[in-house]
Structure 1
Amino acid sequence: MLLRPARRADLPRIVELNDAASPAVPVTAPSDMEALLELSSLALVVVGPDDVVHGFVVAVDPGSDYASENYRFFEDRGTPHVYVDRIVVDGAARGSGVGRRLYDAVFDRARSTGRDEVTCEVNLEPPNPDSLAFHERLGFARVAEQSTKGGSVRVALLAARV
């Protein structure tokens, strides 16, 4: 599997993977996903030998004009961080190291840009216990919880030291 920057041609597959992972991540229109990729400081995909995308990550550096409630929480904390907005791995590739490889790249980005933490959120309601366990194995700890999307989603806000 190859890790590389996301390309415009990857957008349909990224949206497909993203939407298949709902409700762990919100269903996102292609135009909104394209805007998120453009706003991001890091957008990577993992592809197989057939060049099919098996996973992706989208991360945002501090100081962005990103309106996400969860990103804003971490911005308000004032700790230099790289925020992971999305990480999605194709169900068939789970357990193969794709998620860890994507996170290794995010931690490398944080290290190279002098950030202290990698931050993200994981749904508590609707529940996403597999993602919580995965993040705990990577060293993430819960720093807070908050309700988002008008109270329809409750998340654990997580941070891991770089």
Structure 2
Amino acid sequence: MTTIRPARPAEYPVIGEIAANAYAEAGNLPADGSYGPVLRDAADRADKAELLVALDGDKPVGTVTVVRPDEPYAEICRPGELEFRMLAVAPQAAGGGVGRRLVEAVFDRARAEERGRVVLCVQDSAEVPRQLYHRLGFQRLPERDWSPKADIRLLAYYLEL
């Protein structure tokens, strides 16, 4: 059974590698290599947002960063919303429901904080995550689509709770 909880400092290096490797394997890293170090810096995410880890036993197998509107990692969230970023699952755990469990943990946080909406951005080429978000009921929020770089298009989604 997968356990979801806040990440611990000793887990940050493994969590960073899970994120960087998952994005690389999916082909979702910019060609210039600039996002890999951001994904690997789990300690910074834990310091400036909320970093969750999915565990299989005591082994990290997935991660997600939970962001509030006033935090440095916020991209598109506004008051009353909770955003999540950098959802990643280790290859050996892919397809086992870890990503879904992490997103459900985000929903739990949003409800506990009385936030009525969860938002996210996903690269337009990231088919597998987009399918998951669609299955979970997320809808497009095209007015918040944006591009951090000329060759990257991020699509915004939301789910009303």
How is 1:85-124 mapped onto 2 (pairs within 5 angstroms)?
Answer: 85-124=85-124
* CA shift digits 1:56-115 (9 cap, x unpaired): 111111222x165xx1x333xx5x111102211112212211111111111011011110
Map of 2:141 onto structure 1: 143
Map of 2:157 onto structure 1: 158
Matched AA of 2:7: A
CA distance in 2, matches of 1:61, 1:67: 8
CA distance in 2, matches of 1:62, 1:14: 23
Flag structure 1 segments of 5+ consecutive residues without an equivalent: none
CA distance in 1, matches of 2:118, 2:111: 10
Flag structure 2 segments of 5+ consecutive residues without an equivalent: 30-34
Q: Contact between 1:46 and 1:53, CA under 8 Å: does it hold in 2?
A: yes
Corresponding residue SS for 1:156: strand
CA distance in 2, matches of 1:7, 1:62: 23
Corresponding residue SS for 2:12: helix
> CA 1:18/1:31 → structure 2, altered by over 3 Å: closer, same or farther?
closer
Using the size of structure 1 for normalisation, the TM-score is 0.83
Deviation of 1:29 after TM superposition, in Å, equals 4.7
Q: Contact between 1:141 and 1:158, CA under 8 Å: does it hold in 2?
A: yes
Matched AA of 2:155: A
Deviation of 1:28 after TM superposition, in Å, equals 2.4
Percent identical pairs in the alignment equals: 28
Deviation of 1:36 after TM superposition, in Å, equals 1.7
Q: May I ask how many residue pairs the two structures share in their alignment?
A: 151
CA distance in 1, matches of 2:118, 2:37: 23
CA distance in 2, matches of 1:5, 1:54: 13
Q: Contact between 1:82 and 1:119, CA under 8 Å: does it hold in 2?
A: yes
Q: What is the CA RMSD across the aligned residues, in angstroms?
A: 2.0
